[in-house]
Amino acid sequence: MKDLISPKLSNKLAHLDAEQLNNLIQRAKALRKRSGNRADTFDQWIERAMRREERAMQGATDQRDGVVTSAFAHDIDVETESGIVRAHRMNHNLVVGDAVTVGQIGDQTCVISVQPRRTKLSRPDVNDKNIEKLIVANVDSVLIVVSVVSPPLHPRLIDRYLIAIQNGGARPLICVNKIDLLEDLIELEVLEPYRKIGIPVIQCSTRDTLGIDELRNLLQGQMVVFVGHSGVGKSSLINAFAPELNLITGSVSEGYGRGTHTTTVSSLHRLPHGTTLIDTPGIRSFGLWSVTQNEIERSFPEFVGLQCKFNDCTHTKEPGCGVLAAVESGAVSGDRYSTFLRLRDELT
Ligand SMILES: Nc1nc2c(ncn2[C@@H]2O[C@H](COP(=O)(O)OP(=O)(O)OP(=O)(O)O)[C@@H](O)[C@H]2O)c(=O)[nH]1
Ligand SMILES: [Mg+2]
Ligand SMILES: [Zn+2]
């Protein structure tokens, strides 16, 4: 369908996702059909459709600001001063946490504009890795939820999240849930390197109500998104803060120790004392969106201040490499260094 549009116009429309582009194409086709005119190029019809939409937006009445609390395929829920309203997305790529203005166009409530994002968390689209898939916008912190035993702990996922969070501008926190299932706390030693680089690591159990108060204090007054694999207990943790929300929680399959993808859409919840929590669907995998070698290095604060002989040192084999020396002496954790190498390889 994209072939209908010239490469030049396609570039101008690059901010639209596949569905938005499709909507625009359908509107342009409808305009062309109604006019009966076959002489104009399809680019011209697309531009006409865009102008029509802009005019409609300018004429929108009863404009109000709000925050997106849930995002569906065609509509979003927006929290406004007068309560939650459902609005048509129009051509906007929106996620929970986005600050928007909505207004009335005819008898429909529509999104008129989106404010620039203060922070964001994104990943490559699962179907097309060249498309950025936003997960959430404007959060202060991202709580990476992992569990132990069932599902098992996956430190590699934490590493990828840390880079994406750093790039998006929010603060990372780690929550290890289900510690009631642990026979020996020694298994949590794999998380020590994260604590060492200054990331709070909170141990929790929603079953035994352990760590919940500590987490509540840490998150107070912030907008926080809960992310992680399915079945680690994101929704259960949010319920532990606010049982009245009664979010649906799932089970973990016996054989594989995997979650069953219970939460299917993200949702935003206001708690007392200015805390806002966002629940998200569990992920199967998490790829990195638009990350450079330098950005990977920046997410290893333990490398800062280490001196390498060469300015463009890759810290892999060069003589006089400060990072390799620090790994050798134990000043930098061998696990974290392996992570660095793995992430680096993923880029090439
Ligand atoms: N043993 C134990 N089980 C827990 C704990 N927290 C949650 N669970 C259980 O883990 C299962 C999955 O919990 P959910 O809260 O649905 O997990 P989720 O991360 O929201 O999963 P998705 O929505 O699929 O991404 C449920 O059966 C919970 O009862 C805990 O601290 N200890
Ligand atoms: Mg859930
Ligand atoms: Zn080096």
Q: Are residues 158 and 221 in the same domain?
A: yes
> Does residue 284 lie in a domain region?
no
> Does residue 38 lie in a domain region?
yes
Cβ contact 66:80 at 8 Å: yes
CATH number for position 307: 1.10.40.50
> Does residue 170 lie in a domain region?
yes
Number of domains the chain contains: 4
Cβ contact 278:96 at 8 Å: yes
Cα 14 from Cα 236, distance rounded (Å): 38
In testing the pocket of ligand 1, which one of 154, 249, 258, 279 has its CB within 8 Å of the most ligand atoms? Answer: 249
CATH number for position 75: 2.40.50.140
Q: Give me the pLDDT at residue 255, please.
A: 67
> Does residue 288 lie in a domain region?
no
Q: Are residues 110 and 138 in the same domain?
A: no
Q: Are residues 270 and 219 in the same domain?
A: yes
What predicted TM-score, i.e. pTM, was given to this entire model?
Answer: 0.87
> Does residue 287 lie in a domain region?
no
Query: Which H helix or E strand runs over 54?
Result: helix 42-58
DSSP state of 172: E
Region of residue 273 (phi > 0: left; psi between -120 and 50: alpha; otherwise: beta) = left
**Integer CA distances (angstroms), 143 to 89, 169, 201, 222, 231, in order:** 28, 14, 10, 11, 15
Backbone angles phi, psi at 91, to 5 degrees: -95, 25
Q: Are residues 66 and 176 in the same domain?
A: no
How would you classify the pairing of strands 171-177 and 267-270? Answer: unpaired
Cis peptide before 7 (omega within 30 of 0): no
- Two tokens, residue 175: 């929550």
Using the 3D structure, point to which of 279, 302, 322 is the last residue of a domain.
Answer: 279
Cα 173 from Cα 158, distance rounded (Å): 10
Least Cα distance to 67 among 116, 100, 104 occurs for: 100
> Does residue 152 lie in a domain region?
yes
Using the 3D structure, point to which of 116, 143, 158 is the last residue of a domain.
Answer: 116
> Does residue 286 lie in a domain region?
no
Residue 48 buriedness (CB in 10 A; 0-12 / 13-18 / 19+) = middle
Scored b (16 or more CB within 10 A) or e, 296-307 reads: bbebbebbeebe
Q: Give me the pLDDT at residue 126, please.
A: 80
Q: Are residues 249 and 226 in the same domain?
A: yes
Assess whether the C-beta atom of 20 lies below 6 angstroms from ligand 1. Answer: no
Residue 259 Cα to ligand 1 middle (Å)? 8
- Sheet of 267-270: strand order equals 201-203, 171-177, 141-147, 223-227, 276-279, 267-270
Q: Are residues 146 and 181 in the same domain?
A: yes
Residue ranges making up the domain that contains 42: 1-58
Using the 3D structure, point to which of 279, 301, 327 is the last residue of a domain.
Answer: 279
Q: Are residues 93 and 207 in the same domain?
A: no
Assess whether the C-beta atom of 232 lies below 6 angstroms from ligand 1. Answer: yes
Q: Are residues 125 and 181 in the same domain?
A: yes
Assess whether the C-beta atom of 180 lies below 6 angstroms from ligand 1. Answer: yes
Cα 202 from Cα 233, distance rounded (Å): 14
Query: Which H helix or E strand runs over 163?
Result: helix 155-168
Assess whether the C-beta atom of 280 lies below 6 angstroms from ligand 1. Answer: no
Residue 308 Cα to ligand 3 middle (Å)? 5
Q: Are residues 130 and 254 in the same domain?
A: yes
Instruction: Report which residue type is found at 59.
Output: G
Q: Are residues 107 and 185 in the same domain?
A: no
> Does residue 267 lie in a domain region?
yes
How would you classify the pairing of strands 276-279 and 223-227? Answer: parallel
Q: Are residues 124 and 253 in the same domain?
A: yes
Q: Are residues 53 and 75 in the same domain?
A: no
Give the chain's residues under pLDDT 70. 1-2, 254-256, 348
